[in-house]
Protein backbone atom coordinates (compact mmCIF):
# COMPACT_ATOMS: atom_id res chain seq x y z
CA UNK A 1 0.00 0.00 0.00
CA UNK A 2 1.46 3.35 -1.09
CA UNK A 3 0.41 6.96 -0.52
CA UNK A 4 1.61 10.32 -1.66
CA UNK A 5 2.88 12.33 1.30
CA UNK A 6 2.39 16.04 1.96
CA UNK A 7 4.20 16.86 5.23
CA UNK A 8 3.47 20.57 5.14
CA UNK A 9 5.53 23.29 6.77
CA UNK A 10 5.11 22.25 10.41
CA UNK A 11 6.38 18.68 9.95
CA UNK A 12 9.50 19.97 8.22
CA UNK A 13 10.06 22.52 10.99
CA UNK A 14 8.86 22.88 14.56
CA UNK A 15 6.98 19.55 14.55
CA UNK A 16 9.61 17.36 12.93
CA UNK A 17 9.02 14.85 15.74
CA UNK A 18 5.55 14.23 14.25
CA UNK A 19 7.11 13.53 10.85
CA UNK A 20 9.57 11.08 12.42
CA UNK A 21 6.78 9.33 14.33
CA UNK A 22 4.57 9.00 11.25
CA UNK A 23 7.40 7.72 9.08
CA UNK A 24 8.47 5.19 11.71
CA UNK A 25 4.94 3.73 11.88
CA UNK A 26 4.49 3.59 8.11
CA UNK A 27 7.90 2.02 7.61
CA UNK A 28 7.15 -0.63 10.24
CA UNK A 29 3.84 -1.43 8.53
CA UNK A 30 5.51 -1.46 5.09
CA UNK A 31 3.40 1.46 3.87
CA UNK A 32 5.13 3.50 1.18
CA UNK A 33 5.16 7.28 1.56
CA UNK A 34 6.20 9.27 -1.51
CA UNK A 35 6.76 12.90 -0.60
CA UNK A 36 5.15 15.29 -3.04
CA UNK A 37 7.81 16.70 -5.35
CA UNK A 38 8.42 20.44 -4.85
CA UNK A 39 5.39 20.98 -2.59
CA UNK A 40 4.65 24.42 -1.19
CA UNK A 41 2.79 25.83 1.84
CA UNK A 42 -0.98 25.19 1.83
CA UNK A 43 -1.66 28.77 2.94
CA UNK A 44 -2.41 27.72 6.51
CA UNK A 45 -4.22 30.29 8.65
CA UNK A 46 -3.11 33.45 6.88
CA UNK A 47 -3.84 33.20 3.15
CA UNK A 48 -7.64 33.09 3.27
CA UNK A 49 -7.68 36.30 5.34
CA UNK A 50 -5.35 38.12 2.95
CA UNK A 51 -6.10 36.97 -0.58
CA UNK A 52 -8.85 34.51 -1.55
CA UNK A 53 -7.27 33.68 -4.91
CA UNK A 54 -3.93 32.94 -3.25
CA UNK A 55 -5.68 30.76 -0.64
CA UNK A 56 -7.03 28.62 -3.49
CA UNK A 57 -3.92 28.69 -5.68
CA UNK A 58 -1.51 27.41 -3.02
CA UNK A 59 -3.39 24.13 -2.34
CA UNK A 60 -4.29 23.90 -6.04
CA UNK A 61 -0.61 23.80 -6.99
CA UNK A 62 -0.01 20.90 -4.61
CA UNK A 63 -3.05 19.09 -5.98
CA UNK A 64 -1.81 19.70 -9.52
CA UNK A 65 1.55 18.12 -8.67
CA UNK A 66 -0.22 15.09 -7.19
CA UNK A 67 -2.40 14.69 -10.29
CA UNK A 68 0.59 15.16 -12.60
CA UNK A 69 2.47 12.41 -10.78
CA UNK A 70 -0.48 10.00 -10.73
CA UNK A 71 -1.02 10.16 -6.96
CA UNK A 72 -4.56 9.00 -6.22
CA UNK A 73 -4.35 9.25 -2.41
CA UNK A 74 -2.36 12.00 -0.71
CA UNK A 75 -1.62 11.70 3.02
CA UNK A 76 -1.50 15.05 4.86
CA UNK A 77 -0.86 14.52 8.62
CA UNK A 78 -1.58 18.16 9.56
CA UNK A 79 -5.34 18.86 9.84
CA UNK A 80 -4.93 22.43 8.60
CA UNK A 81 -3.17 21.13 5.48
CA UNK A 82 -5.64 18.31 4.88
CA UNK A 83 -8.60 20.65 5.38
CA UNK A 84 -7.25 23.25 2.95
CA UNK A 85 -6.43 20.61 0.33
CA UNK A 86 -9.84 18.93 0.67
CA UNK A 87 -11.75 22.22 0.62
CA UNK A 88 -9.98 23.50 -2.50
CA UNK A 89 -10.26 20.09 -4.16
CA UNK A 90 -14.03 20.22 -3.68
CA UNK A 91 -14.20 23.77 -5.05
CA UNK A 92 -12.29 22.66 -8.14
CA UNK A 93 -14.58 19.69 -8.72
CA UNK A 94 -17.62 21.95 -8.59
CA UNK A 95 -16.44 24.76 -10.88
CA UNK A 96 -15.09 24.46 -14.41
CA UNK A 97 -14.31 28.18 -14.36
CA UNK A 98 -12.17 27.76 -11.24
CA UNK A 99 -10.44 24.67 -12.69
CA UNK A 100 -9.46 26.61 -15.80
CA UNK A 101 -8.30 29.64 -13.82
CA UNK A 102 -6.21 27.62 -11.35
CA UNK A 103 -4.71 25.43 -14.07
CA UNK A 104 -3.49 28.60 -15.75
CA UNK A 105 -2.14 30.11 -12.51
CA UNK A 106 -0.28 26.99 -11.31
CA UNK A 107 0.82 26.08 -14.88
CA UNK A 108 -0.48 22.53 -14.57
CA UNK A 109 -3.86 20.96 -15.17
CA UNK A 110 -5.72 20.54 -11.89
CA UNK A 111 -9.18 19.07 -11.36
CA UNK A 112 -9.26 18.13 -7.66
CA UNK A 113 -9.21 14.39 -8.37
CA UNK A 114 -6.74 13.34 -5.64
CA UNK A 115 -8.22 11.96 -2.42
CA UNK A 116 -6.76 13.61 0.71
CA UNK A 117 -6.44 11.51 3.86
CA UNK A 118 -5.46 12.48 7.40
CA UNK A 119 -3.61 10.40 10.01
CA UNK A 120 -6.74 8.73 11.38
CA UNK A 121 -7.94 7.85 7.89
CA UNK A 122 -4.64 6.30 6.88
CA UNK A 123 -4.84 3.93 9.85
CA UNK A 124 -8.45 3.18 8.87
CA UNK A 125 -7.30 2.33 5.36
CA UNK A 126 -4.56 0.06 6.71
CA UNK A 127 -7.30 -1.60 8.77
CA UNK A 128 -7.71 -2.73 12.36
CA UNK A 129 -7.02 -6.34 11.42
CA UNK A 130 -3.58 -5.58 9.99
CA UNK A 131 -2.75 -3.23 12.85
CA UNK A 132 -3.74 -5.67 15.59
CA UNK A 133 -1.80 -8.46 13.87
CA UNK A 134 1.31 -6.25 13.99
CA UNK A 135 0.91 -5.34 17.68
CA UNK A 136 3.66 -6.57 20.01
CA UNK A 137 2.63 -4.57 23.10
CA UNK A 138 -0.92 -4.11 24.34
CA UNK A 139 -1.51 -0.55 25.56
CA UNK A 140 -3.40 -1.61 28.68
CA UNK A 141 -1.84 1.06 30.93
CA UNK A 142 -2.82 4.00 28.71
CA UNK A 143 -5.98 5.99 29.47
CA UNK A 144 -5.85 8.73 26.84
CA UNK A 145 -8.19 11.62 26.26
CA UNK A 146 -8.53 11.67 22.46
CA UNK A 147 -8.42 15.31 21.40
CA UNK A 148 -9.57 16.11 17.84
CA UNK A 149 -9.45 19.88 18.00
CA UNK A 150 -11.10 22.26 15.54
CA UNK A 151 -10.04 21.04 12.13
CA UNK A 152 -9.98 17.24 11.97
CA UNK A 153 -13.76 17.05 11.59
CA UNK A 154 -14.62 20.59 10.41
CA UNK A 155 -16.07 22.02 8.25
CA UNK A 156 -18.42 19.00 8.17
CA UNK A 157 -19.59 19.62 4.60
CA UNK A 158 -16.01 18.94 3.43
CA UNK A 159 -14.65 16.63 6.15
CA UNK A 160 -17.04 13.71 6.42
CA UNK A 161 -15.00 10.88 7.89
CA UNK A 162 -16.34 11.24 11.47
CA UNK A 163 -19.03 13.04 13.48
CA UNK A 164 -18.03 16.71 13.76
CA UNK A 165 -19.29 17.09 17.36
CA UNK A 166 -18.80 13.61 18.85
CA UNK A 167 -16.03 11.89 16.87
CA UNK A 168 -14.98 8.40 17.93
CA UNK A 169 -12.49 7.15 15.32
CA UNK A 170 -9.39 7.60 17.51
CA UNK A 171 -11.08 5.86 20.43
CA UNK A 172 -12.05 2.88 18.24
CA UNK A 173 -8.48 2.51 17.00
CA UNK A 174 -6.85 2.83 20.43
CA UNK A 175 -9.28 0.41 22.09
CA UNK A 176 -8.31 -2.16 19.46
CA UNK A 177 -4.69 -1.70 20.54
CA UNK A 178 -5.55 -2.26 24.22
CA UNK A 179 -5.79 1.33 25.51
CA UNK A 180 -8.71 2.62 27.59
CA UNK A 181 -9.71 6.03 26.19
CA UNK A 182 -11.72 8.15 28.61
CA UNK A 183 -15.38 8.62 27.72
CA UNK A 184 -17.70 11.62 27.97
CA UNK A 185 -15.12 14.29 28.58
CA UNK A 186 -16.18 17.75 27.46
CA UNK A 187 -13.52 19.32 25.26
CA UNK A 188 -12.54 16.82 22.55
CA UNK A 189 -13.43 19.20 19.67
CA UNK A 190 -12.89 22.58 21.37
CA UNK A 191 -10.19 24.99 20.17
CA UNK A 192 -6.79 24.92 21.91
CA UNK A 193 -5.92 28.44 20.79
CA UNK A 194 -4.20 27.34 17.58
CA UNK A 195 -1.80 29.93 16.12
CA UNK A 196 -2.57 32.48 18.83
CA UNK A 197 0.29 30.89 20.77
CA UNK A 198 2.49 33.55 19.09
CA UNK A 199 0.04 36.47 19.16
CA UNK A 200 -1.65 36.18 22.58
CA UNK A 201 -0.22 33.57 24.89
CA UNK A 202 -2.87 34.18 27.56
CA UNK A 203 -5.68 32.97 25.26
CA UNK A 204 -3.83 29.74 24.55
CA UNK A 205 -3.11 29.20 28.24
CA UNK A 206 -6.79 29.63 29.04
CA UNK A 207 -8.21 27.46 26.24
CA UNK A 208 -5.61 24.70 26.45
CA UNK A 209 -5.86 24.77 30.24
CA UNK A 210 -9.58 23.99 30.06
CA UNK A 211 -8.88 21.04 27.76
CA UNK A 212 -6.11 19.54 29.90
CA UNK A 213 -7.84 20.07 33.23
CA UNK A 214 -11.09 18.52 31.97
CA UNK A 215 -9.25 15.51 30.56
CA UNK A 216 -7.48 15.02 33.91
CA UNK A 217 -10.78 15.37 35.78
CA UNK A 218 -12.27 12.56 33.69
CA UNK A 219 -9.45 10.15 34.50
CA UNK A 220 -7.04 10.56 31.59
CA UNK A 221 -3.36 9.81 32.19
CA UNK A 222 -2.28 11.17 28.79
CA UNK A 223 -3.54 13.09 25.76
CA UNK A 224 -3.62 11.93 22.14
CA UNK A 225 -3.69 14.33 19.19
CA UNK A 226 -3.32 14.22 15.41
CA UNK A 227 -2.36 17.88 14.90
CA UNK A 228 1.04 19.58 15.25
CA UNK A 229 -0.42 22.88 16.55
CA UNK A 230 -2.57 21.10 19.13
CA UNK A 231 0.51 19.22 20.28
CA UNK A 232 2.51 22.43 20.68
CA UNK A 233 -0.21 24.10 22.76
CA UNK A 234 -1.01 21.13 25.01
CA UNK A 235 2.57 19.94 25.45
CA UNK A 236 4.80 23.02 25.41
CA UNK A 237 2.34 25.26 27.26
CA UNK A 238 1.53 22.73 29.98
CA UNK A 239 4.05 24.02 32.53
CA UNK A 240 2.64 27.56 32.14
CA UNK A 241 -0.89 26.20 32.54
CA UNK A 242 0.09 24.33 35.71
CA UNK A 243 1.64 27.52 37.10
CA UNK A 244 -1.44 29.64 36.29
CA UNK A 245 -3.97 27.24 37.78
CA UNK A 246 -1.69 25.95 40.55
CA UNK A 247 -2.58 22.43 39.53
CA UNK A 248 -0.29 19.52 38.70
CA UNK A 249 -1.42 18.01 35.38
CA UNK A 250 1.55 15.89 34.27
CA UNK A 251 -0.25 14.67 31.14
CA UNK A 252 2.10 13.46 28.39
CA UNK A 253 0.80 14.49 24.96
CA UNK A 254 1.18 11.81 22.28
CA UNK A 255 0.58 11.97 18.57
CA UNK A 256 -1.74 9.17 17.50
CA UNK A 257 1.20 7.69 15.59
CA UNK A 258 3.20 7.60 18.84
CA UNK A 259 0.76 5.26 20.59
CA UNK A 260 0.34 3.12 17.49
CA UNK A 261 4.13 2.98 17.26
CA UNK A 262 4.50 1.93 20.91
CA UNK A 263 1.95 -0.85 20.32
CA UNK A 264 3.97 -1.97 17.28
CA UNK A 265 7.12 -2.18 19.40
CA UNK A 266 8.89 0.86 17.91
CA UNK A 267 11.34 2.46 20.32
CA UNK A 268 10.54 5.77 22.00
CA UNK A 269 13.71 7.27 20.53
CA UNK A 270 12.70 6.35 16.98
CA UNK A 271 9.28 7.92 17.64
CA UNK A 272 11.05 11.07 18.97
CA UNK A 273 9.18 10.94 22.28
CA UNK A 274 12.30 12.34 23.95
CA UNK A 275 11.67 15.62 22.11
CA UNK A 276 8.35 16.28 23.87
CA UNK A 277 8.24 18.83 26.70
CA UNK A 278 6.09 16.77 29.10
CA UNK A 279 8.09 13.61 29.54
CA UNK A 280 6.38 10.34 28.78
CA UNK A 281 5.78 7.81 31.53
CA UNK A 282 6.41 4.06 31.47
CA UNK A 283 2.70 3.16 31.40
CA UNK A 284 1.94 -0.52 31.67
CA UNK A 285 2.07 -2.49 28.42
CA UNK A 286 1.55 -6.20 28.00
CA UNK A 287 3.72 -8.04 25.49
CA UNK A 288 1.90 -10.05 22.85
CA UNK A 289 2.99 -13.42 24.20
CA UNK A 290 1.36 -12.53 27.55
CA UNK A 291 -2.16 -11.99 26.22
Q: Which residues contact 138 (CB under 8 A, 6 or more apart)?
A: 177, 178, 263, 285, 286, 287, 288, 291
Side-chain-facing half-sphere of 6: CA atoms under 13 Å: 32
In terms of domains, do 56 and 103 share one? Answer: yes
In terms of domains, do 82 and 149 share one? Answer: no
Domain boundary among 76, 96, 117: 117
pLDDT digits (tens, 9 = 90+) for 182-207: 999 999 999 999 878 777 889 999 99
In terms of domains, do 141 and 102 share one? Answer: no
| pLDDT at 290 (0 to 100) | 63
The answer to whether residue 31 sits within a structural domain is yes
Give 5's strand partners: 35, 75
Q: What is the mean pLDDT of residues 228-236?
A: 96
In terms of domains, do 146 and 105 share one? Answer: no
The answer to whether residue 122 sits within a structural domain is no
Domain boundary among 70, 90, 117: 117
The answer to whether residue 211 sits within a structural domain is yes
In terms of domains, do 102 and 205 share one? Answer: no
In terms of domains, do 111 and 134 share one? Answer: no
Q: What is the mean pLDDT of residues 22-47?
A: 93
SS3 state at 117: strand
CB 114 within 8 A of CB 63: yes
Among 259, 232, 272, 236, CA closest to 119:
259
In terms of domains, do 204 and 255 share one? Answer: yes
Helix (H) or strand (E) holding 75: strand 73-75
The answer to whether residue 186 sits within a structural domain is yes
Query: For residues 10, 16, 21 and 23, what is the CA-based torsion angle, rounded to 10 degrees?
Result: 80
CATH number of the domain at 55, please.
Answer: 1.20.1050.140
What is the pTM (predicted TM-score) of this model?
Answer: 0.95
In terms of domains, do 98 and 173 share one? Answer: no
Domain interval for residue 218: 128-290
In terms of domains, do 80 and 144 share one? Answer: no
Q: What is the mean pLDDT of the chain?
A: 94
* Residue 235 confidence (pLDDT) above 70: yes
In terms of domains, do 206 and 231 share one? Answer: yes
pLDDT digits (tens, 9 = 90+) for 53-85: 999 999 999 999 999 999 999 999 999 999 999
Percentage of the chain surpassing pLDDT 70?
96
In the chain, the number of structural domains is: 2
Q: Which residues contact 64 (CB under 8 A, 6 or more apart)?
A: 102, 103, 106, 108, 109, 110
- The region, left, alpha or beta by phi > 0 then psi within -120 to 50, assigned to residue 256 is alpha
CATH number of the domain at 139, please.
Answer: 3.40.50.11810
In terms of domains, do 163 and 220 share one? Answer: yes
The answer to whether residue 123 sits within a structural domain is no
In terms of domains, do 109 and 172 share one? Answer: no
Alpha-carbon distance of 53 to 156, in angstroms, equals 23
Domain boundary among 95, 117, 139: 117
| pLDDT at 289 (0 to 100) | 61
Amino acid sequence: MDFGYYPGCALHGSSYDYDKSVRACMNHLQIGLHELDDWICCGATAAHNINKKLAVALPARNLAIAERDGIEQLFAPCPMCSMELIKVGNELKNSETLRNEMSQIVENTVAGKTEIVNLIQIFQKIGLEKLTEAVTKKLDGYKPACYYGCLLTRPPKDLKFDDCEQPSSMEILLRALGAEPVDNWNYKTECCGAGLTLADDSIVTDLSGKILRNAKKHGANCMVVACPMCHVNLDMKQPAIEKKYKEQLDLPVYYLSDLVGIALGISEKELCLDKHFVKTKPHKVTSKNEY
